[in-house]
Structure 1
């Protein structure tokens, strides 16, 4: 199904390179006149300050395998084109000369029925290529292309046709005819997929990685029934080349992929649409999110045309050496995806300390919230590996998140005592997706009616902290700085002690700031009335999560009330 949908996507695109061509950085050019003489007898440097690796061109490419030289047609490395050896040893010089001879033989095959090939043939058969001056900084692995008065010779239609034939001979079984798994048509089948996933397209920890095969079975123990290569995955050369060309194009498009530490997710739609599903989840852009949610709540007859009959596809990849590992595959109707995304934002929407109303949180902020928090904010790359992938998968599939993320988040909150919008939103999401019944209790703002012991304990801690702050001016260390982590796990012991201390603070407020003292005393009583049982002695991970949410909700509600009171006072003064 993956190959089939990639092939369908390739048919709808006009920007893909020809079959068995790849967009590569070409560093050097050989410019030939009509007689095959190089202009200037030296290589032309195609690099610029903006593109130091050279000019990006669609050139012949296929993964080299085995011990043979297997040159590319008309465009290859200096080792093939000009016999540039890796070093001065006799072995390397002989190897470069052999590769160059194979490269020229491939040109001769193309030139048989191509009149425009005359300058190229003359250049190589006259030996002019051996007299070319190679700049000192050039590496044998630099790519070089050939240009004549007719343009880049590798882009000529005859070159595209001959190169396709060459690749099919290299990669297909000449005696193997069968039904393609993708298109369902009979014809020659591939032994291996000619084009790999481009090196660097899949993040690899600690390095750039290398070309990786989407389907790679070269040991009998790996294949079904001992079969190797593509015996159990019959694919024709057309579908194989189109699928890989589309996949590499998607992986190179910043608008159609999301990279993690060790994986990449790429997506596409059956038909174009004015939304970017991954971007809407990743960045929580109001325009994108509102456009998606609007379609969910409209009756089917009023939905936009880009929704009806449209489908969403996404694949998550990682790499193991030179093999691609498929972590996830999504193939669902677009309207179902919109519903999943709407549920994602509904399940994590959270009130903030500084802004009124529930907020939608970008996925990248929730990922960062799983890491360490220091004086400068969240420490870069301190979130667990794969967290962004797990969050995105939960958003797109509408599933629960891995249980270890709750343990990780609680551990980080206990360690640094920091609770903000991102952490509170992620906590609500983790708890609700693990236990949907909690959605009635863990709303996006303060739930004054909840009697959950963990939630009310968190509210109580927030009120006690506010009492301390109000009673003691210019305080350097609050009870949250000292006891928040302990109170999360052992509310009974910690909150009992803090409540006794608050009695003295309230007594002081009645003498110095009586209205504030009365208001805080009433708020404390309101919270305590919700405790229909004794404070819990200990809380499990989920209970600690509800404690944190109660604490965050109470603080956010108190600050919202303070902002409203200040606004009312200012309005009264202005109207007086």
Structure 2
């Protein structure tokens, strides 16, 4: 099933889906009229509080504007609807004139009391804020809707019928829709998609043909890929619903805004699958009300069992079969949206791939946060640990590999090793990423916890470097330029050149450590590691061996000398034993 087809199906399952031709838009003010077209008052529709914001209102969907002047139906920003703007307003008079002229065409011959009042208002209105009771200059350039009494004009049956007719203007002959298969008028332009991080705030197109190079066989715009007006509205409404602020069906992964939804006959099962998947990538969904607490705990318990590796068929049989799951990653690309990835499969397959990812990322000692969300791992690849600095495309490629159970992107290992060298820091998150790439891409056996008998020279060299670093600390305490900061990059790539001088300086550090009653563990540990290394150290390490070096370094650095060892060393020193 295509992405658009699945979104059209998802629209029918939305509990609060807007009706065809309508969309939730942010409105700042409502102008209430009398039947004679005079203004009763202006109501500030914004939220309460210090920083008041326009509130969503279900209104006729907006037109797509470029440089042309095009008014909306029965609502618009103040420049169009009232001829008022906060700026210079070079086109304000033209915009307001177009608003009046188009509504005179759309509503001609209407007998509805509210629509007639609106036409009378427009005919006699001259842009004058003083004529609007309750007006505030803070409302300038916000969207304005109109009402007669307590009813919004766009909600009146006559207005909805007029809007239905207006939407058919310019629509070409009916064709079979590629998304639904039904025959209907083809959408020339598709609705804008909002909520994608980095894209235009007014929205961007997911489907558009605006250059000759995009077209074929003489078709224009939407005729190149015929999607009906109804399907175009449905897929856009569903996707905007999933991408809206505060949505539980979206997560930001690097530069990709990821929307996800389940396709299931059982709506409750679909919602449960979506809640569990949200826990896979980010924080588990929290209960918003007391009555939801039990359901949230139930989802959290199932998520825990899945992470322990239990088959989904045992955790929740109804989710293992009969639930198709869709994940769509979008990124900004000028006036369009770029599809980073689109993935579809059964929720059972998705869960199995997630469990494999969890196994790949296993490392001891683990991170402080159990099962860190994916964005936390991605920040380990970014300069200064900032999400906006995550390497472009890498986040989407990694997530796609996790979902599909395929090889991780080749650049993932390079990125984490580069950040480790630049930051002079190896932590549990970075060690987990390195281990995951080695296990899946290179099909290597990589230990989860410290493996003293590991046959890999690179792993043992990483251990040895951590011991040498610990010896310096035992001898001198904290110093401004420890060997980890100065030599890690060279030691992990060209060990033969670096380890010889470091081992020569080890004797001095051991002697200084003994004077402080510390370091009795150093020489035995070094001897144990050296026994597992070849006589001639490698001159250079391949990329995957640099990853093994990092894992060995992390494991050994996380190991702490036993307290008994330190006490024995102190007694030996006090007794003068060498």
Please name the residue that 1:403 is paired with: 410
C-alpha distance in structure 2 between counterparts of 1:498 and 1:13, whole Å? 65
Matches within 5 A, 1:110-189: 111-112=110-111, 114=112, 116-125=114-123, 127-128=124-125, 133=131, 135=135, 137=137, 141-170=141-170, 172-173=171-172, 176-189=173-186
Please name the residue that 1:54 is paired with: 54
- SS where residue 213 of structure 2 aligns? coil
Matches within 5 A, 1:403-422: 403-422=410-429
**Cα RMSD, aligned residues only:** 3.3
Please name the residue that 1:197 is paired with: 193
Q: CA deviation at 1:334?
A: 0.4
Please name the residue that 2:528 is paired with: 526
- SS where residue 324 of structure 1 aligns? strand
Cα separation, partners in 2 of 1:301 and 1:421, compared to 1, 3 Å: closer
C-alpha distance in structure 2 between counterparts of 1:512 and 1:90, whole Å? 80
- SS where residue 79 of structure 1 aligns? helix
Cα separation, partners in 2 of 1:287 and 1:466, compared to 1, 3 Å: farther
Please name the residue that 1:44 is paired with: 43
- SS where residue 203 of structure 1 aligns? coil
Tell which deviates more after alignment, 362-371 or 546-555: 362-371
- SS where residue 359 of structure 2 aligns? helix
Question: Contact 1:406–1:427 at 8 Å: present in 2 too?
Answer: yes
Please name the residue that 1:282 is paired with: 282
What are the superposed Cα offsets for residues 35-82 of structure 1, whole Å, 9 maximum, x if unpaired?
Answer: 443214xx3322244463422201112333577644322112223323
Question: Contact 2:29–2:142 at 8 Å: present in 1 too?
Answer: yes
C-alpha distance in structure 2 between counterparts of 1:263 and 1:379, whole Å? 15
- SS where residue 403 of structure 2 aligns? helix
Q: CA deviation at 1:512?
A: 6.5
The question of 1:300 aligning with 2:302 is answered: no
Please name the residue that 1:572 is paired with: none
Q: CA deviation at 1:302?
A: 6.3
Structure 1 unaligned regions, length at least 5: 567-576
What are the superposed Cα offsets for residues 442-476 of structure 1, whole Å, 9 maximum, x if unpaired?
Answer: 12211222111111100111122223323445655
C-alpha distance in structure 1 between counterparts of 2:401 and 2:303, whole Å? 17
- SS where residue 223 of structure 2 aligns? coil
- SS where residue 491 of structure 2 aligns? helix
Cα separation, partners in 2 of 1:383 and 1:331, compared to 1, 3 Å: closer
Question: Contact 1:349–1:359 at 8 Å: present in 2 too?
Answer: no
Q: CA deviation at 1:260?
A: 5.1
For these two proteins, the number of residue pairs brought into alignment is 540
Please name the residue that 1:554 is paired with: 556
The question of 1:102 aligning with 2:99 is answered: no
Please name the residue that 1:535 is paired with: 537
Question: Contact 1:27–1:144 at 8 Å: present in 2 too?
Answer: yes
Question: Contact 1:284–1:361 at 8 Å: present in 2 too?
Answer: no
Question: Contact 1:79–1:99 at 8 Å: present in 2 too?
Answer: no
Q: CA deviation at 1:6?
A: 0.5
Question: Contact 1:350–1:359 at 8 Å: present in 2 too?
Answer: no
What are the superposed Cα offsets for residues 96-119 of structure 1, whole Å, 9 maximum, x if unpaired?
Answer: 32432222432346x34x455454
Question: Contact 2:450–2:552 at 8 Å: present in 1 too?
Answer: yes
Cα separation, partners in 2 of 1:498 and 1:302, compared to 1, 3 Å: closer
Q: Normalising by structure 1, report the TM-score.
A: 0.84
Cα separation, partners in 2 of 1:251 and 1:529, compared to 1, 3 Å: same
The question of 1:245 aligning with 2:237 is answered: yes
The question of 1:368 aligning with 2:360 is answered: no
Q: CA deviation at 1:301?
A: 6.4
Q: CA deviation at 1:508?
A: 5.7
Cα separation, partners in 2 of 1:190 and 1:394, compared to 1, 3 Å: same
Cα separation, partners in 2 of 1:242 and 1:379, compared to 1, 3 Å: closer
C-alpha distance in structure 2 between counterparts of 1:131 and 1:121, whole Å? 17
Of residues 386, 393, 407 in structure 1, which corresponds to 2:400? 393
Q: CA deviation at 1:196?
A: 1.4
C-alpha distance in structure 2 between counterparts of 1:466 and 1:88, whole Å? 68
Q: Normalising by structure 2, report the TM-score.
A: 0.83
Question: Contact 2:71–2:95 at 8 Å: present in 1 too?
Answer: no
Q: CA deviation at 1:23?
A: 1.3
- SS where residue 196 of structure 2 aligns? coil
C-alpha distance in structure 2 between counterparts of 1:180 and 1:240, whole Å? 10
Q: CA deviation at 1:128?
A: 5.0
Please name the residue that 1:232 is paired with: 224
Of residues 230, 244, 250 in structure 2, which corresponds to 1:257? 250
Cα separation, partners in 2 of 1:284 and 1:483, compared to 1, 3 Å: farther
C-alpha distance in structure 2 between counterparts of 1:342 and 1:363, whole Å? 14
What are the superposed Cα offsets for residues 220-271 of structure 1, whole Å, 9 maximum, x if unpaired?
Answer: 3212444332223222222121111111111104321123564311111112
Cα separation, partners in 2 of 1:120 and 1:508, compared to 1, 3 Å: closer
Matches within 5 A, 1:296-445: 297-298=310-311, 300=313, 303-352=316-365, 360-372=371-383, 378=385, 381-435=388-442, 437-438=443-444, 440=445, 442-445=446-449
Cα separation, partners in 2 of 1:142 and 1:268, compared to 1, 3 Å: same
